[in-house]
Every structure is written in C-alpha cells, then in structure tokens.
Structure 1
Amino acid sequence: MTDTHPQIARRGPAQVMRLSRLGSLHQCRLSFMRQLTRRMARENWRFTRPVFDIDTNGVGHAVYTAHGPERAYSLVAFAHDLPPEQRSDRVIAEAWDATFTLFDGIPTTEDIERLSQNVPLQEAGRVSENELSLSRANRSVRLWAYVVDALAAGKQPDPEQIYKVGYLMRTTAVYGSGKFGAADRETTADRPELSAPFQTEMLSVYLTRTFVRDLVQHMAQAKGGDETASLDPAIAQWLGIGNSTGLGMAPFIINHPVLFNNWIMVREEAIARVRSVPHATPDRMAQFRAIFERSRLSVSWWRSDHPVQIDKLAALRTDLDMLTAELTQRDLTEHHPWDALICWSEDHLSEEGQELLASLILEPYGDLVDGLVDCMADSNAGAQMIDGSMSVAQVRALIRQSFDWALDLDWQEQANCARAWYVSEEKLEPRLGERFEEPIAEYEQPLAPARDAAAAYRALEDWADTDKIAAFLLHHPEHRHTIRRAQIGRVAPYGEIRDNTISANVLPIDMLRAKLSFFGATQFDPRSDRWVRICMYSGAPYPDELNTENADLWVYPEALQ
C-alpha cells in the first residue's frame, strides 16, 4: 500500500482520551526508546568507554561516549558506596547508589572534576549548558546482591530471578530541559538525533544500562577474583533499567496539551493507516502472528501486587486467550483485515487488550508509520497565544468541543471536586490531597481543566455572542488559562483528557502510564494509585551488539532460555 492517507478515520478524542484507556496504553514502534535505537543502528553510531575508574568498593566514575554522525554525547557516571539506610526512591533523597549526567561532547579531565563536585549532589549542585541531563539511580538491593554473589561464585544467575525483577538499578529521576543549569531544550531541538521528544533522556538511560551491567560485573570480579563468571549476554539482555515515577509526572500531560496531542494523534494516525490497508500480504500476516506470540510471552512475565493492575492483568491474559482463538479461525486475507480485527476487539476485549492489539498491528508496517515520528515534537509556539479577536460564540463552541461532557456535572458536589493538586513545601513534589479534609485549597495548582472550563462557560453566559473574547478576559482574567486551552483545541484535538482530574475516584497512575507508554516502558507495576515502577530497555541490545537487525523488535522476547 502506497497511499498514506487513511480511508478509515482516526478514533476520536471522546473515545481515546478517557483516563481508563490512557491508563491502558502499551509501547509501540513509535515509542521514544525504539526511535532512538533504530536511529543509532541506521546511522551506525559508535560507542566507547574511555574511562572506568571504579575501586573494589564500587566507588569512582566512568565515561561512556556515543559517537553519532555529527556529534558525540557522553554519559558521565559516578558510583557511590551508599549505606542501606540512606537509600530512598523519594525525589527528596540526598544520596544515591549512582549519579549521572549526559555531557554534550567528550568531557575533559577538568570537566569531570567539575562534575564530580556537583552531579553527586543532584538538586543541591549545579551543572552547566554543556550538560544535557541529570539523573540518579538506586540498586534493586536483593537482585544486585544475588547477581554479584552468583557471578563471584562462578555461576550464572537464574534467569527466572532476572525476569521477575527486570533490572539491577532503577532511576528515581532523569532531569533535562534546563533543570539545575543544564542546557535548555531549545539548545538541541534542531539536532536531528535529539529533535524527537525525550531523546536526550532516552540516550542517557540507554548508556546508564551499559554502565550498570559493567558495574555489577566489576563488583563480582572484586569479590570472586579468578573464579568469577562473566555474565551471560543472553541473561544480561533482559536486564533493563527500572524507574520509579510518582505524581510529579502526572501534571506533565495536562500542562503540555499540544505535545501530548501530537503523541496521541500520531499513534491514532498510525493505527488508522494500518486499519485502512485493504489486504494483508502473507509476509505481513506472518510478522504479526510472530510478534503476537512474543508479546504473549512478555505479558506472562508481567507481575504486580497492586489490586487495580492485578485485575487488569487477569483481564489482559483472558483477552490474549480470546485473541489467540480468534486468530486461529480468522482469515487475515479478508478485506481490511486489521480494521475488522480492531472492530472485533472493541466488542470482545478489555481496554487493556484493545490497546495492546492496536500497538501490535503497527509492527509489520514500519514503512507506513515510522515516518510519523517526525511529527511528535511540539514546535508550535504560536499555539499558546490567545486570539483576543475571537467572538464569545466561537469560544463557547470550542469549550463544548473539548469539554461538553463536563458542562453538566454538578461541580458543587464533593465527589466531583474531592481532590486538589498542590506542591508540598516539605517534599518539593506535586501532591494530590483531599480538598475537604486538608487546608490545601488556597495552594491548588491549575490542574483541573474540566472544572475550570465549566466555570468559564458559565461566566460566558452573561456575554453576547458577538462580543470579543478580549473584552471578556479584561473583566475575567481568571479564565485566561481556560480560554487559551479552548483555542489550543483547534490544533490539538487530543490535547485534553476527557475525565475529571480532581474527582474522588481519579487514578493518577493512568496519567503516568500514558506518558510512560510513549517512552516505551514495559512491566507497569503500580505501587499505589499515585506511583508506579516500570522497566526500560529490557531486551534491548547493548551498544557493542546494536545493529539494524536487532535495533527495533528487541522489546518482544523470543523465548525463555
């Protein structure tokens, strides 16, 4: 198929932008990690480790450099001997097992000395415009000790233990875009290799994973000496990097409606293109069936102790059984086979299963969808400007377009406004508190666009259709942010969550998962309704193994070894 204009329309925002569906999204070939590994392999990036100066106590520093076609980027890693009582995943922690920065270029000895005085301090230190990100990580203590002990004794770790946890270290923050003195996003936005969203952070995590593999081998060698075994590459492959993500990430998708719209719209466009394929070739069918079987294996590794995710996983496994049975009898040579399969899923599968299938049908069609990744960044600075010449009638229509579902809600009912978002002075983290039980209302952050849209809509009732919105805002400046969001909806139809973000039953983990799925995360494991652990790059080739043959489908395991 050469026509890139889908005949089957994209799914609409009213269907896609519900929190329960956003909280069921899965990684796909558009995910930021896979974009990066494809690019690095295609462009034949070269990787070196010019420095690895770490002692037998696991203290020191290392440098890993990625050499692209035009520029080089270096992860400068600092390893620390952290007492167990100081280990915490909280953003307010003051010490970590390892700290990192991604340096723009190749650092000199003087650069490393400067960084050694600042990077281990994280927020308490300062980096410069030569640094692109700042991050830190802690060990998964039991798995780390187990792997070190096994290798030191001349044995390989049990693969089942690796699959159960998935990572030896987990990051607790990867900061970019100007935080703590680092280079602003604008510094690198025009570089092809970093123009897509979060490529700086994804490169930092990719190199961090290699450092963690090397460090655990180094620590085993220090303990076991000549008896030490080298970690089996087939086992190391499934060691990703963990991540603990809390409420701090949830406001991001509310505060960046154009950017989030671009992610969702690109995914929906990709799904629509594949659904519009009139006939599937035998080769495409075979690719899909193979990836489907590999995805079943991946799901079988997925564990969680959280009640919500336990139920979703049970439903997903039932979905996969139903889908397996359907694929056994379904003829994928029928007219518009992928559309027929998606339509079937909407009648038979949970949202978790529907969204996994929607991701999987993209896999055989890289030629149709991969080019869309160039549309995922936000370069539309003008979208933030309020058009004061617009009439009140036009603005009312825009509010109805994005928030019609919210206009009839009783916003005086406590259940509809039970929560309030605020920033904790003590913890320096976004928080979601109980509005009617805590004195937090006056500190509330503007993260309830539905409630605010309903309030603006009511205020507009007193104005004539032909009045200019500029006049309204002169009298009601408190509604500027709502009018701006309503006008942004003209270019970002998927920019608004179609659910109440301050209701008594809101699950912030749905927002976290939506964003993390676009990163390419797997193994979502909520630890409460407000924070989640994930795994990144599990299954990916390491830099010394990366090539065009293994750069993309690494996220799907082929078989347990």
Structure 2
Amino acid sequence: MTDSRSHIARRDPATVMRLSRLGSLHQCRLSFMRQLTRRMANEGWTFSRPVFNIDDAGVGHAVYSAHGPERAYSLVAFAHDLPPEQRSDRVIAEAWDATFTLFDGVPTNEDIDRLSQNVPLQEAGRVSESELSLSRANRSVRLWAHVVDRLATGQQPDLEQIYKVGYLMRTTAVYGSGKFGAADREKTGNRPETNAPFQTEMLSVYLTRTFVRDLVQHMAQVKGGDATAKLDADIARWLGIGNSTGLGMAPFIVNHPILFNNWIMVREEAISRVRSIETASAEEDRAFREIFERSKLSMSWWHSEHPVQIKKLAALNADLSSISTYLSQEKLQHDYPWDRLVRWSETALSQEGQELVASLILEPYGDLVDGLSSCMADSNSGAHVINGAMPVTEVRSLFDQSFGWAMDLDWTAPENCARAWYVSEEKLEPRLGERFKEPIAEYEQPLAPARDAVRAQKALAEWDGEALIAEFLLRHPEHRHAVRRAQMATVAPYGEIHDNTISADVLPIDMLRAKLSFFGATHFDPRSDRWVRICMYSGAPYPEDLIRENADLWVYPEVQK
C-alpha cells in the first residue's frame, strides 16, 4: 500500500444519517464483538470454569472466568427448569431458561448465594456495584431438542438446522450501566479493556455462549449416558447467541447523539482512509476478494419472513451478483480502487449493498483502521453543557445545518406527527403509540428532535440575532433540549438522524439495525417493524481456542474448497 496523494472526504451526514441507510448497516472491523475478541487474543487472556453445578434436570449454576492482564471478570450463570407455557421473549416475562450476571472479579460462595436470590428474578431482584451486567435467555426449543436428542444417540446435529437457526439460546435483554443496582459506566469506563462501548455486555454474551454449549452437552449426557457423542467443535463454532430486541433499544441512538456520532464518524473516517488509498497490493486485493466470497456464504444463511426484510434481502442478493460481476471485470490494485468500488456501488447497488461494500473494504486494512476504535466512547461530558454566550444568529445557523431538511415539513399534518414515544408504566420501557388514537400525548418523550428543532427555530425568528441564547432560554426554557442538541452538532456532525422519528411511516427497526450493526450482529430477522432477532458470535472461537490468528475474521464463514 502506498500513501495517497488525494484524501477522499468522509461522506456527508445528510447522506449517511437517513434512517433507510442506517437500517442497512452491516458489521465491520470496528464492531464491538470483534474489538473484544481481538483484544483478548492480543493480550493473551485466559479462561476457566471454576464452577459447573448443574443437576440432571438442568437446574443449578456455573461460573466462567475471563482473566485479563490486570483483572478478571466472571459470568455467573443460573440454569432453570422453565415450563413451556412460561417461555416468552417479551420484556414483560417473569421467568427464563437461564439468567446471568457479569461479576467484577471472581465471586466467592457468599457472592453466589447473594446472586442466586436476585439474578433469577431479573428486574424484581437487585444486584450490586460488583455486578456489571444483568441478562437472561431462552432456549430455541426445537433446535435445543434436536441437538440434545442427536448427541444422546451418539450422532452429531444436522448442520443445516444449525445454519438455519444459528443459536441454541437467545437473550431477551442484556442490561448494564447501572440498571437494577449494577455498576455505573463510570466504574469501568477508564479501564483499557472496557473503555470501548458495550465491552462488558459483549464479554457477558461471549461467555454465555460457552455456558450454553456446555449446558446442552450436559443435558445430552444426562439423556444418553455412555452413548452420548461430544458436540463436534466445527459444528459448535456456528452456534452463536441469539437476541430478541424490541422498541426498548430504538431511542438509544436519539438519546445519545455524541456517542452515536462517534460510532458513525469513526466508521466514516475508516471508509474515507481506505477510499483514499491510491494503490493496493496484490495481497490486499486477494484478501478483499476472499472476504467477499465468505460474506456471500454468510448471507446465504440469512432468511426472514417479514415483508420489508424479504424485499431488502432480494435486493442484497441481486447486489451480491452485481459485485461478483464487477470484481470479475475490475482490478483492485491501482487508480484508487476502493474509491472506484464505492462510487460504482452508489449507482449500481441498493443501500444494503452499498453499506456491505463500505464495511468489506475495511477488512484488508486493520493496521489503518483498527486504532480508530479508541475514539468510539463518549468522553466529552462538556458537550452536554449549553453555551449560553452563543449569539442567537449562530444557533439559528446550527439548526439549519442539522435540521434544514425538516424546516419545510408541515408539522401539523397528521402524517408528520402520527406517532408519539412514551415510557410504559408496567415495565418502564420505551413504547411508540398512535398520537391520535391513544391518550398518550401528555406522556410524550423528547424523541422527535427534528420537530422540536423547528419549533425552537420559529421561536428564535422573533429574536435579535445578536442576543445571547441564554436570554432566549430564560424566556423559553422549553427549548433548552433543542438548543443543546443544536450546539452538540459542532462536535457531533453525525449525531442527528435526518428523518422524522414520529411520522406515520417511521420504521423503528431501522434504529435497532443501526445500533446492533455496531455490536457486530448478523442475520437480521425482523418479526415486525418494531422488533428483530439477530445472531451474535456465530463462527467465533470458544475461549479455549481463541488465538490471534482466529480472533477477527471469524464472522465470515470459511468457503469449503
């Protein structure tokens, strides 16, 4: 690789921050799961299972510890005998097949006793600052039974069924950052291994996957005795952890504009750096083509029954064929090859295909882009402080910059304000209701930044441009949150969604997809426009197999030759 003579700028937020594009993002080198596995392998983390106390009914507890250079973290897992009628992915469920917490250190017997009285209760219990996350999971009933039955009779499970489902258990929530008494982000945010976003949650899920593998083997052994087969390592590798995620996650990217900006801006900077490469080596060309072929295999396992996703998958499959044709006709070693590929994709492919290309071109360039992961956390607390000395005219300009697209919308038209976000009394979770059909308007949450920006801009129109914004806010405190967001744009150009989050046709699933893609999720399977199932860590090495050579590209299945 040679240095570029011309730097290709990051893409415009007006292009990137549309919901339809955010809802087409794919995992990449910067995804949080891959950051974690790379770090653990590079630092030589070791793993142990000090406790596995599960009875023949599949009830009990286990401890899985991960030992890093300075500290240890332990997953404390509780297995339950759940009657089928109580199994539900709804957040309002009160019982699960398994419940978990990630403990800061290695727990004592006293810790485990305390946790056994609280973790299985989830929201109804309480944990302490020694716990970093709280989670629960349910079995994928048919695949679980299939694997147990096959192993118990000395056979391996059917690999096609593994590919089709992808996981033996799926989490229905992984809570962190202070929920239910768990440690706040401030406790771990300055640790190298947990500074990047969601690293404690990703570690919890990684260890959960190992527990699930061990539990299904245990239950097969109970059933089959000496005739039981050991689950083949190559088959086990494709068992990830599923996740069912609904509306509770959707407002996150609206409520955290600085943090979400950092994720998007880092990805855009990585794409910009690779596009700016003038000449690629033969090895970098080969690496990209290999990863593309492997990604095609992964996409072939991706199915959905939701009409919106069926349409997107059809477009993506057509895109894969188009990319294959392009690669058969183009060399990727000269004349800014990656920029040419991206520019071609912008007119030849759907947004799904465009964003897949944008993610894949990063793969040969770990040395160039991986270091950007250190910029993805939100450490800029000062950005949340309103600058009262800013002149009104400057604030108006900021509103136009981030929300100019919204200024001409008729915000009194029912289709433009049809929805309202509120928090349910029962579970204290975000919900999206119909403004004109339900009595929810007085409970509305500030999750319509575009509408609120337009309101603030109209109020500012009557003010002297030289006046200080502090004077305006003393008279109109109802616009404080809108002014704060406008000022954040000076350091967070990718912090605002360039779409109406309360329109009649808004798809919350796009918000979920955007966040989950940064986790590193694959196989997005929407069950409605409000909740989705995904897979995590499918293909990843288990702790006993994790080394530098397999710590990163595990997300792409190997093509059998």
With the length of structure 1 as denominator, give the TM-score of the two structures. Answer: 0.99
User: What are the residue-to-residue correspondences of 1:81-480 with 2, within 5 Å?
Assistant: 81-480=81-480
Deviations 1:468-515 (A, max 9, x none): 100100111000000000000000000000000000000000000000
In 1, the alpha carbon distance for the partners of 2:131 and 2:172 equals 19
Question: 1:91, CA displacement in angstroms?
Answer: 1.2
Cα distance in 2 for partners of 1:73, 1:519 equals 20
Distance 1:9 1:559 in 2: 35
**Structure 1 runs of 4+ off > 3 angstroms?**
1-6
Q: Which residue of 2 aligns with 1:42?
A: 42
Name the CA distance, whole Å, in 2 between partners of 1:74 and 1:403.
45
Output the CA distance in 2 between the equivalents of 1:505 and 1:171.
29
The letter for the 1-side match of 2:407 is L
> In 1, distance between residues paired with 2:246 and 2:282?
44
Three-state SS of the structure 1 residue aligned to 2:249 is helix
- Looking at structure 2, the residues matched to 497 and 256 of structure 1 have their Cα atoms a distance apart, in angstroms, of 11
Is the 2:5–2:278 Cα contact (8 Å) retained in structure 1? no
Q: Is the partner of 1:10 in helix, strand or coil?
A: coil
One-letter amino acid of the structure 1 residue matched with residue 380 of structure 2: N
Q: Distance in 1 between matches of 2:341 and 2:367?
A: 21
Distance apart, 1:425 and its partner CA: 1.6
Go from structure 1 to structure 2 and tell me whether the alpha carbon gap of 1:522 and 1:351 turns closer, same or farther (over 3 Å shift).
same
- Please tell me whether the aligned partners of residues 3 and 278 of structure 2 are also in contact (alpha carbons under 8 angstroms): no
Is the 1:5–1:273 contact (alpha carbons within 8 Å) kept by the matching residues of 2?
Answer: no
- Residue 427 of structure 1 deviates from its aligned partner by 4.3
* Alpha-carbon contact 1:127-1:182 (below 8 Å) kept: yes
Structure 1 counterpart of 2:109, one-letter code: T
The residue type paired with residue 239 of structure 1 is L
Shift of 1:453: 0.4
The number of residue pairs the alignment matches comes to 561
Question: Structure 2 counterpart of 1:282, which letter?
Answer: A
Aligned partner of residue 363 in structure 1, secondary structure: coil
Deviation at 1:426, TM superposition (A): 3.0
Opposite residue 484 of structure 2, the aligned amino acid is R
Counterparts in 2 of 1:258 and 1:396: CA distance versus 1, 3 Å: same
Cα separation, partners in 2 of 1:503 and 1:6, compared to 1, 3 Å: farther
> Using the alignment, how far apart are the partners of 1:163 and 1:38 within structure 2?
24
- Sequence identity (%): 78
Q: Where do 5+ consecutive residues of structure 1 fail to align?
A: none
Structure 2 unmatched runs, 5+:
none
Deviation digits for residues 276-298 of structure 1 (CA, Å, limit 9, x no counterpart): 00001000000000000000000
The answer for the alignment partner of 1:26 in structure 2 is 26
User: Would you say the 8 A contact 2:2–2:277 is kept in 1?
Assistant: no
Pairing of 1:455-534 with structure 2 (within 5 A): 455-534=455-534
CA deviations over 1:286-332 (Å, ceiling 9, x no partner): 00000000000000000000000000000000000011001000121
Q: Is the 8 A contact 2:270 2:362 kept in 1?
A: yes
Separation in structure 2 between the aligned mates of residue 3 and residue 42 of structure 1, nearest angstrom = 27
**Contact residue 6 and residue 272 of structure 1 kept, 8 A:** no
| Residue aligned with 1:133, SS | strand
Contact preservation (8 Å) 1:14, 1:498: yes
Deviations 1:248-267 (A, max 9, x none): 10100000000000000000
**In the alignment, what sits opposite 1:551?**
551
Q: Distance in 2 between matches of 1:348 and 1:505?
A: 26
1:23-69, Cα deviation, whole Å (9 max, x unpaired): 00000000000000000000010000000000010000000000000
TM-score, normalisation: structure 2: 0.99
Q: Secondary structure of 1:92's match?
A: coil
Indicate the SS of the match to 1:207: helix
Say whether the 8 Å CA contact 2:3–2:277 is kept in structure 1: no
